[in-house]
Amino acid sequence: MLLPLRAHHPARSLCGPLTNKAWGRPSGLLLRSRVPLRLPITGAVPAGAQSSIYARRFATTPTARMSLPSKISAIGINKTGDFDVIEKLELPFPQNAPGNVLIKVQYGGVNFIDTYFRKGLYPISQFPQALGREAAGEVIALPTDESVLSNEEYKLRGLKVGARVAANTLGAFSEYVSVPWNKVYALPEHLSTRVAAASLLQGATALTFVTEAYNVQKGDVVLVHTVAGGLGLIFAQLIKARGATVIGTTSTPEKAALAKAHGADHVILYTKEDLVQRVLELTNGEGVHAIFDGVGKDTFEADLKVIRRKGTLVSVGNASGAVPPFPPLRLVEKNVKLLRPTLDNYIYTPEEGRTYVTELFKLIENGTVKINIHGDYPFTAEGVQQSQKDLTGGKTTGKLLIKISDA
Ligand SMILES: NC(=O)c1ccc[n+]([C@@H]2O[C@H](COP(=O)([O-])OP(=O)(O)OC[C@H]3O[C@@H](n4cnc5c(N)ncnc54)[C@H](OP(=O)(O)O)[C@@H]3O)[C@@H](O)[C@H]2O)c1
């Protein structure tokens, strides 16, 4: 059975896990009594299991023989709060809903959104909740729902047992995840699971935002805050590749050098320079055509000063805190367009997801986008805590990963 569209609504994914089992929240009911589990080869079902739910779910899965645990380790939270709420969780093996893909995770990507969930800025509906919003690894089991298997978009995904994939999913810092098929992307030969986990969320965000939030054109001048971060470095490369001028902001000369090496034409050290004055100098007083602002609260007022008439201000995130309530009347001064988009709404349909992620993977393959990895953190509570401390402390450049298992 295909999930009703309502169950996929991005606003729900932003707001934490869904109770709908098709989203793969571990239920613990399916596999608990079978330790170690032997998944069948070419449709064979273990003796005595023919009439069980287990048999129905996995009977058609031509997967290699393997043992699966009844419990899995994950890193997540039981309540919201400071870094120390992050703990090791023991969760039931994830039930693979008929429309889902079961993945053994190798890498989880660290994103600022992990900190929003941990702090409670983005609500979580149920605890315990594993953290992590993107994963890459190997397919263990495929959907069994006939309507999925016959869906043309599903076929175009080319998903196979044993294939390497990347997935957008909440709860990625887990040994196994079960993810609706339309959030899972097979990796091309050139792309490792490590680079895939480092590029899926931020790469797709940058690509969709420079295409749909503001369609960057040759000759534009575009301001990117957090330009040396994971998302910012990809923004800089994509904007530059379109023939536009990139002005970035960052805190240190080292970060500025990295941003320049990734396409930024001018980098403003907001710790030493007057941001508004410098942007106006660089644009002959006119301001920029578009702004991608991942800082939020601290930069919003300056953005309104440096956006040009009819410019587009894209509020991307909240690294310094959420932008406070804002009267739309303030936009009349320059007829500014203001957006606060999220990736999920740009890759809402299976076709949108496939199209953008395929393009992203091509841009990585042809060298237009280089993925800069800051480092791998261990799959422990301390490792995930440290990743969040480093990210929110502004100590990092590029992408942070959690290494969950070997390939
Ligand atoms: N809307 C979406 O769908 C979407 C998707 C992905 C990411 N995002 C957003 O994009 C932004 C960047 O995400 P990222 O994961 O790539 O992080 P990141 O840019 O790698 O790290 C955050 C950077 O923000 C800068 N920063 C400025 N003020 C800060 C403050 N008060 N506290 C902490 N950091 C501050 C720091 O860089 P400097 O030292 O250079 O200032 C820091 O390194 C975040 O706001 C995130 O939520 C949004």
Domain ranges of the chain: 5-191+372-403, 201-345
Cβ neighbours for 34, distance < 8 A, ≥ 6 positions apart:
46, 49, 54, 70
Q: Which amino acid is at 26?
A: P
Out of 13, 231, 238, 273, mutate this one to test ligand 1's pocket (max ligand atoms within 8 Å of CB): namely 231
* Protein residue with its CA nearest to atom 12 in ligand 1: 294
* Protein residue with its CA nearest to atom 43 in ligand 1: 394
**CATH top class, domain 201-345:** alpha beta
Q: Which amino acid is at 341?
A: P
Selected residue with higher pLDDT from 142 and 58: 142
Bridge partners, residue 176, by sequence: 104
Q: Ligand 1 centroid vs 17 CA: distance in angstroms? A: 23
Q: Ligand 1 centroid vs 313 CA: distance in angstroms? A: 16
pLDDT at 407: 78
Structure tokens at 249: 């902001």
- pTM for this prediction: 0.87
pLDDT interval class at 66 (50, 70, 90): low
Share of the chain above pLDDT 70, in %: 84
**CATH top class, domain 5-191+372-403:** alpha beta
Out of 122, 226, 297, mutate this one to test ligand 1's pocket (max ligand atoms within 8 Å of CB): namely 226
Is the pLDDT assigned to residue 129 strictly greater than 50? yes
Give the mean pLDDT of the chain: 87
Is the pLDDT assigned to residue 168 strictly greater than 60? yes
Q: Can you tell me which atom of ligand 1 is nearest the CA of 391?
A: 21
Selected residue with higher pLDDT from 234 and 18: 234
- 3-state percent helix, strand, coil for the chain, nearest multiple of 5: 35, 25, 40
Q: Can you tell me which atom of ligand 1 is nearest the CA of 340?
A: 1
Q: At what angle do helices 112-119 and 381-392 cross, to 10 degrees?
A: 110
Of 88, 90, 84, the residue nearest 119 (C-alpha): 84
* Protein residue with its CA nearest to atom 29 in ligand 1: 320
H helix or E strand, kind and range, residue 207? helix 193-208
State CA 328 to chain mean position distance. Answer: 30
Q: Ligand 1 centroid vs 137 CA: distance in angstroms? A: 25
Residues near ligand 1 (Cβ within 6 A)? 111-113, 201-202, 205, 226, 228-232, 250-251, 255, 294-295, 298, 316-320, 342-343, 391-392, 394, 396
Of 206, 228, 225, 227, the residue nearest 216 (C-alpha): 206
